[in-house]
Amino acid sequence: MKDKQNAPLVYLDNAATTFPKPSRVYDEINRCMTEYCGNPGRSSHPLAAAADEAVFDARVEAAGLFGVSDPSNIIFTHNATDAINKTLRGVMRGGERLVMSNIEHNSVYRAVTNLCSRLHSSFDFFNAGGTDDELIYDLETKLRSGADIVICLHASNICSRVLPIERIGELCRRYGALFILDASQSAGTYDIDMRRNGVSVLCAPGHKGLYGPQGTGLCVFCDGFDFDRLSPCVFGGNGTRSADVEMGREPPESYEAGTVNVPGIAGLGEGIRFVKRLGGRRILMHERRLFARARTQLQRLGAEIYLPECEGGVMLFNFADITASALSEKLGESNVCTRAGLHCAPLAHKTFSTGGDAVRISFSAFNTDDDIDRFIEVLRAAI
């Protein structure tokens, strides 16, 4: 056991949170905490002004990444789940009809089902388990019958299935539906231009493909979004309109009650700059190459890989003679970090017929060929 504990760390759980982060992210968080961590938008003294500037700069970086011209359309949140909930609660009044895919993460699935139950709204699924053409046909059928909101993930969190968001956005424009995109597994890696893709609201975590710290996320609203239709759902001080009992509907302050996570947002800004410098496409090509390397070796060992043809940053697999949970635990004992189970995505596991328990490995810009080879070495011993 001592040798296993001293084994080199191989981190392949980046779909949960990327690790490590770029060194500039750590440096900026520390600099913020030690040099300028005032309360932004509350005062005019130097520390508050410096904090305000760091937060604004992060908004600018995020807006540029997603093709939005107004940085005020960036609302910072705690994570993607927080962003999804605040968006849905803000736009739903009751009686709406929502459509989501049948491979959604619980961050969408639970939010939609609970809100629809409370607000007497309804929801339906479109099939994302087949081809893109089949998906579009099924979704258009749902939209023709009067759907108001389409909410779906961009990329799956259990495999590398990626939905055709530009075609989905075009349908939403045609039928006048609001298009809310969960970019938890795609932001920072896949090219997303909200104007071109027809996305109304994008929800993303800061701690995954944007390489920021945990406890950060964002809602990105498209240019021209009508904020009169978005109700604040958290109330309190925000540094503006202090004499009014109402929060108002002026982005971003009306939707960021309380003190924002200044060190986290400063670190997120550096994470986004890292992604821009390296290039999302370059990161994606790197992850696809690692996927192909792992796939070849896993297939030689007899693994069942789910959607092996969908190359990307996430791979899901099983072996016949050992449970996924037991295998992941064995890998962890040798410092190889994976994740087994349902991955908070029971819909996707059902759609892809995994049996409800599979091992997931996921890559980042910092993984190497040596990581894959070490993973296979430990895996071979484990099975």
Report pLDDT digits (tens) over 31-75.
999 999 999 988 889 999 999 999 999 999 999 999 999 999 999
Decide if 72 is inside a domain: yes
Residue type, 335: N
Dihedrals φ, ψ of 314, to 5°? -135, 135
Decide if 269 is inside a domain: yes
Q: Any alpha helices (H) in the chain, and if so which ranges?
A: 2-5, 23-31, 46-65, 80-91, 106-119, 132-144, 165-175, 194-197, 262-278, 280-300, 324-333, 346-351, 369-382
Tokens of 302: 């007899």
- Whether 267 and 329 map to the same domain: the answer is no
| Among 210, 245, 278, residue at a domain's last position | 278
- Whether 254 and 354 map to the same domain: the answer is no
- Whether 336 and 312 map to the same domain: the answer is yes
| Among 236, 251, 278, residue at a domain's last position | 278
- Whether 247 and 343 map to the same domain: the answer is no
Q: How many CB atoms lie within 10 A of CB 94?
A: 10
Decide if 16 is inside a domain: no
Average pLDDT, stretch 79-92? Answer: 98
Burial 44-53 (b: 16+ CB within 10 A, else e): eeeebebbbe
| Among 278, 305, 321, residue at a domain's last position | 278
Residue type, 355: G
- Whether 29 and 143 map to the same domain: the answer is yes
- Whether 285 and 325 map to the same domain: the answer is yes
- Say what the pLDDT of residue 259 is: 93
Give residue 305's domain range: 279-382
CATH number at residue 54: 3.40.640.10
- Whether 47 and 134 map to the same domain: the answer is yes
**Among residues of the chain, what percentage have pLDDT more than 70?**
99
- Whether 202 and 332 map to the same domain: the answer is no
| Mean pLDDT over the full length of the chain | 96
Please say whether the beta carbons of 170 and 198 come within 8 A.
Answer: yes
Distance CA 103, CA 105 (A): 7
pLDDT band at 162 (very low <50, low <70, confident <90, very high): very high
Distance CA 293, CA 333 (A): 23
Would you say residue 1 has pLDDT above 50? no
CATH number at residue 334: 3.90.1150.10
Decide if 5 is inside a domain: no
Average pLDDT, stretch 149-153? Answer: 98
- Whether 228 and 334 map to the same domain: the answer is no
Q: What is the pLDDT of residues 97-143, one digit of tens each?
A: 999 999 999 999 999 999 999 999 999 999 999 999 999 999 999 99
- Say what the pLDDT of residue 159 is: 97
Decide if 195 is inside a domain: yes
- Say what the pLDDT of residue 244 is: 85
- Whether 231 and 329 map to the same domain: the answer is no
Q: What is the pLDDT of residues 185-209, one digit of tens each?
A: 999 999 999 999 999 999 999 999 9
Distance CA 93, CA 82 (A): 19
Domain count, the chain: 2
- Whether 238 and 284 map to the same domain: the answer is no
- Say what the pLDDT of residue 242 is: 79
pLDDT band at 2 (very low <50, low <70, confident <90, very high): very low
- Whether 229 and 349 map to the same domain: the answer is no
Query: Distance from CA of residue 304 to its chain's centroid?
Result: 26
Decide if 86 is inside a domain: yes
pLDDT band at 5 (very low <50, low <70, confident <90, very high): low
Decide if 307 is inside a domain: yes
- Say what the pLDDT of residue 7 is: 83
Decide if 63 is inside a domain: yes
